[in-house]
Amino acid sequence: MGYFPNIFWTIARNRPIVKAVGAMMDAFWYSDDVDEETRRLVTFVYSHYARSHYSSAHCAFGARERVLERAKISEIFDFDWSPICGERERAILRICRNSARILGEVCDEDISTLKAHYGDNTITYIVGLFSMMAFLNKWNELLETTLEEQPANWSDRKLRTIGWR
């Protein structure tokens, strides 16, 4: 990663929170239920649509270091018709977008489309991943966690075209 995320300084103020958040993050980042590219895409898209500049920058910056194509990051607003996304990804991204904006935007069709592509265990994992990001997004935005220099500089250069910040 190359830097120490500032979120850990605020979480470290309370030992039980450190343990709980650490366990939650381990459960979602080190699972075989969903591949890393999908995890990275989901966390970025959810955070971006939830308007969390700290988390969306971290997720996109971390994704670029690992497995997520820059083109997918750039086309998050066009995933419904972009040839770069398949139907399985569209099902996840649609529910991700809708639940990040307003939970009431998630409709029965979104759920049935997701179920057409994924089993119950994977859907449970994906919803858990959204929930983890909702927690982290709120934490960072309400506590105004300062974005570190590396993800901030990268996001300024790479994410402005899609409305970051």
Examine residue 17 and state whether it is found in any structural domain, yes or no.
Answer: no
Examine residue 20 and state whether it is found in any structural domain, yes or no.
Answer: no
Looking at the predicted structure, is the pLDDT value of residue 39 above 90? no
How many domains would you assign to the chain? 1
Examine residue 69 and state whether it is found in any structural domain, yes or no.
Answer: yes
Of 44, 51, 9, 18, the C-alpha closest to 145 is: 9
Looking at the predicted structure, is the pLDDT value of residue 72 above 80? no
Average pLDDT over residues 134-151: 93
Token reading at 158: 């790479």
pLDDT value of position 148: 94
Average pLDDT over residues 133-153: 93
**pTM higher than the cut 0.85:** yes
Which tens digits make up the pLDDT trace of 49-61? 999 999 999 888 8
Give the range of the structural domain holding residue 105, as residue numbers without chain letter.
7-11+35-162
Examine residue 29 and state whether it is found in any structural domain, yes or no.
Answer: no
Within 10 A of 160 (CB to CB), how many other CB atoms are there? 10
Looking at the predicted structure, is the pLDDT value of residue 71 above 80? no
Examine residue 144 and state whether it is found in any structural domain, yes or no.
Answer: yes
pLDDT value of position 111: 93
Angle of the 120-142 helix axis to the 36-49 helix axis, nearest 10:
40
Examine residue 79 and state whether it is found in any structural domain, yes or no.
Answer: yes
Looking at the predicted structure, is the pLDDT value of residue 23 above 90? yes
Cα 98 versus chain centre, distance = 13
Angle of the 87-101 helix axis to the 120-142 helix axis, nearest 10:
40
Examine residue 24 and state whether it is found in any structural domain, yes or no.
Answer: no
- CATH number of the domain bearing residue 98: 1.20.1290.10
